[in-house]
Chains A and B, each alone.
Chain A
Amino acid sequence: METLCFYLFAALAVVCGFLVVANPFSRNPVASAMFLVLTIAALAGLFVLLHAFFLAAVQILVYAGAVMVLFLFVIMLLDLKEEERRSWRKFGLVGGGVAVALIALLMYAALRQSPLGAAGEPRVEGSTAALGELLFRQYLLPFELVGVLLLVGMVGVIWLSKRAVP
């Protein structure tokens, strides 16, 4: 049962992820964004199968709920028509290939360190309290740093967009 669910969600994630970047039926950015939502939902399903309910809920709440809606908002406001006409460029092909190769290398290295199917017991049990303990005790500094990083990004965006308007 769990294996079946895993393959279902995994297939959904891969297929929808592919359709986000290379949809043969429509070049519409809105369609891409919606397939991204499906990908995120499938990933949340995978989290549930790992008994990480908190992560699954946050994944849906933050990514599918807030971030994707903002993406769609921007798409609606900007009316990205030229995106539909864009064709393949040599630079894009080479850059994309290099990026894929790098990620594949990274995954290969990660998989060699911990072989498939031998993950053993999860580090954090599904409980939200345990996750909070870990985040706010052991990993407090990285957690706060990520928060500051996001704030810097936000301030930067506001500064840039304020400059554009005279």
Chain B
Amino acid sequence: MMETLDQLFVLLKRWVVGEFPAAWRLWLSPLIDAGAIIGVFAGLFAVTTLLERKGLGRLQNRMGPNRVGPFGVLQPLADGLKMLTKEDIVPRAADRVVHFLAPIAMVTPILLAYAVLPFGRNLVAVDFDAGLLFFFAVGAGTELAVFMAGWSSRNKYSLLGAMRGIAQMISYEVPLVLSAVAVVLVAGSLSLPSIVDSQAGYHWGWLARWHVFTPWGLAGFILFLIAATAESNRSPFDLPEGESEIIAGHLIEYSGFKYALFFLGEYLGLFAVSALGITLFLGGWQAPVPFLAWVPSYLWFGAKLLGCIALFIWLRGTMPRLRTDQLMNFAWKFMLPLVLVNLVVAALWHGTAAWGFFGAGATRWLLGGAVLWLTYSALSHALFTAPGRGPRTYRYAD
């Protein structure tokens, strides 16, 4: 019974596809996958906008939306209607074709990235050999979309925002990919379902074998989260939008549904990169404790995903925005060296996996943790005592 419930969506799809003539099946199967992914995550987008506005409201000591429907739960519907009925304004000097294509170029690659993510046991659209690489490859497409939006608008602020955005995304893509490489190194595979399988089982019957419970995994997960926040342009890394300096960056000249598409792309990217983090470090759809393993796998995945989203909302409500130089220093002088050391620690962890003496696990943990901690403190010391970093001075505001 639980087995059936766990495989519910897989069986459902098999049944639906089986109802059609054989010639259609080759086409129908991916179509169903794509439809399901778009439907589920667009729905999650609507829920998340409401959660975010409510959560941010509470964090900032106000109510948040509470007018449309009971407790404001119909707010996403109202937002959607507003976006759809707004006039679509294109500046006269804009490059019309590129201006039109930019939102599409933003959303399409992100939707493609969902194809390789395993949402539950056997619940993956395409399980192919270089799945992780595919994810990062299509993710690179969004940088191009930001450029297209900023450049085609013929607006100084747009261009500045796009340049900031691209510089930020390129810089933080390096630690993002490198922190994922540590997992690939230990799991020995680029395919996401087999990375999840490598985290199956429990130590001593209760502690899950997730990568986040290893020293390199913990450091990698934190680095991955920071880089993911920057990659999806969310606060405190929302400089490309920077309302107070460059208004809304590459989004200025967009209105109506095109703007909504950018918004959708941003959130879908956030979900995708959270799902990737869960798959790489938090055991994917595995249950955290063995006696709860009967709960369907996709529910575990959904719970972890919602937890990640809540974390991102919390971060957004808590952290002030960085300055551009701080952003760049942090990426290149702190995260990149740390993530490289993390890679070495992961290699050591993998190399000492055969140790069998009593307390070998604790020794490996302490060794890896010590190396990472020393690197972390040295790097943060260097970052805080860098030349040119003194008490803050104001040119105009004194």
Contacts and interface: CB of A to CB of B under 8 A. Distances in A.
Contact of B163 (A30, A76, A126): A76
A68 interface: yes
Contacts of B139: 65
B265 to A, nearest CB: 16
A34 interface: yes
A165 to B, nearest CB: 18
Contacts of A53: 128-130, 134
Contacts of A37: 144
A54 B163 contact: no
B159 interface: yes
A54 B133 contact: yes
A3 to B, nearest CB: 16
The 3 A-B residue pairs whose C-beta atoms are closest, nearest first, are A65-B140, A57-B133, A60-B137
B192 interface: no
B170 interface: yes
B114 interface: no
A70 B167 CA distance: 9
B148 A34 contact: yes
A117 to B, nearest CB: 25
Interface in B350-389: none
9 contacts: A57-B130, A60-B138, A65-B140, A68-B144, A69-B143, A69-B170, A73-B166, A76-B151, A128-B130
B136 A61 contact: yes
Given A56-B137, A73-B166, 14 more contacts: A34-B98, A53-B129, A60-B138, A60-B140, A64-B140, A65-B139, A65-B140, A65-B143, A65-B144, A66-B170, A72-B147, A72-B166, A77-B163, A128-B130
A69 B166 contact: yes
Contacts of B144: 37, 64-65, 68-69, 72
Given A34-B148, A126-B129, A58 B159 contact: no
Interface residues of A, number: 23
A45 to B, nearest CB: 12
Nearest to A44: B137
Interface residues of B, number: 25
Interface of B: 98, 128-130, 133-134, 136-141, 143-144, 147-148, 151, 159, 162-163, 166-167, 170, 173, 190
Interface of A: 30, 34, 37, 53-54, 56-58, 60-61, 64-66, 68-70, 72-73, 76-77, 126-128
A65 B135 CA distance: 12
Contact of B129 (A54, A58, A61, A68): A54
B210 to A, nearest CB: 24
Contacts of A34: 98, 148
Nearest to A70: B170
A65 B166 CA distance: 11
Nearest to B169: A69
